[in-house]
Amino acid sequence: MALSGIVLVTGGAGFIGSHIAATLLDRGARVRVIDDFSTGYAENLAEIGGDIDLINGSINDTHALKRALENVELVFHEAAIPSVPRSVSKPLETHEASVNGTFSLLLAARDSKVRRLVYAASSSAYGDQAESPKRESMRPDPLSPYAVAKLVGEYYCQVFARVYGLETVALRYFNVFGPRQDPGSQYSGVISRFLLALNRGESPVIYGDGEQSRDFTYVSNVVEANLRAAESGAAVGHVINIANGESITVNQLLRTVQELTGRSDIRAKYEPPRAGDVRDSLADLTLAKNLLGYTPTVGLEAGLRKTIDWWKTSRFADQTTTV
C-alpha cells in the first residue's frame, strides 16, 4: 500500500484494530493508533511490535483527536464498545462512544483534509428480518442500542461523502473472530468465550436454544476487506457486507470447537436468550465482490484452528489449562 501520509487506526489496541495495524506495518505504512484502552489492551500492541505512534486518548477528546489526525491520509475507524448486551444495559455509554465519537471523528477528519475513512459498521443493522442472505439494499431494522449506534455512523459516513467530499466506506462486519479477541468479558465473541470455558473445563454458555445461526468471519478476511476498501474508488459512499458467506448454528459451532480442542466431554449450559440478539445471520457478498474484489480466503474451520493455535501461547493460556 503506497501512502504518502500517516494511517490512523482508531481503537487500534482492540481486537480487529490491532490486526489492521499489524498488517499495515507489514506493508510498510506509517501507523498511528488512538485508543483510550476502555476495551483495548496494551498487550495487543506489544504483540504486534513495530514502530507505532500511540496516542492514549478518546476520539471524543478534541485535543487528542486533533493530534491523532495530524498529517493523516487514511483512517480505519474501529473504535467502539462492541457489545449488544452492554448497549442494552448501558445505552448512553454506547451512544457516546459510537455516535458522538464517530461524528467527532468525521468532523475532525474533514477539517484535517483526510482523504478517506473506512468505517467498521455492523451486521446488527439488519435485525431479525426473515429474508436471507442479508443484502445491503434491505431496510435496516436494528434491535439494540448498539445496532442503532452503528447504523447512525453509517448514515453520517454517507452524508460526509456526499456533502463534504470526504471519501468514506462502511463495512458491515459479520461475527468476526480470531486471535486477540478477549474472552474474559461476558461481552466478548462466542468463540473466544467457548475456548475460555473449555480450557477451564467449564460448561460453555449458550443463550437460547443454540439453533440461532451466524456467519462467523475470520479476522484476516476483515483486514483484507479494509485494505481493499481503502483503495477502491468504486466503494466510496457505499455500505458493504464483509463476512464468510456461510452460516452455522451456535450448537454446531460448539461441537466443532469441542472436536478441535478434544473437549467433547464438556456439555453446554443453556440460558435464556439475551435482549437485542438476532436469530439468524448470513451475508450476501455480491457487493463486496463487485466493489472490492473481496472473497474470504480463510474459512471457519481453518480460522478456528489458527485461533486455537494462537491460544496455546497467548497470555490467556497462563490462566487456563492448555487446549
DSSP 8-class letter at 280: B
Helix (H) or strand (E) holding 91: helix 91-95
Q: Give the separation between CA 18 and CA 66, rounded to whole angstroms.
A: 21
Which residues have C-beta within 8 Å of that of residue 162, sequence separation ≥ 6? Answer: 237
Distance CA 250, CA 253 (A): 5
Kindly state the cell numbers that stand for 282. Answer: 448470513
- CA 150 – CA 71 distance, rounded (Å): 27
Grid coordinates belonging to 73: 491520509
Using an 8 Å Cβ cutoff, are 32 and 11 in contact? no
Which is the catalytic residue, given 41, 119, 126, 146? Answer: 146
What is d(CA 182, CA 189) in angstroms, rounded to the nearest whole number?
A: 8
**Cell 461524528 found at:** 103
Q: Cα 119 to chain center, whole Å? A: 10
Distance from C-alpha of 228 to C-alpha of 222, rounded to nearest angstrom: 10
Place of cell 426473515: 130
Q: Clarify whether 187 is annotated catalytic.
A: no
Place of cell 485494505: 227
Phi, psi at residue 35, to the nearest 5°? -155, 135
**Half-sphere exposure of residue 199: CA atoms within 13 angstroms, side-chain side:** 22
| Residues designated catalytic | 146
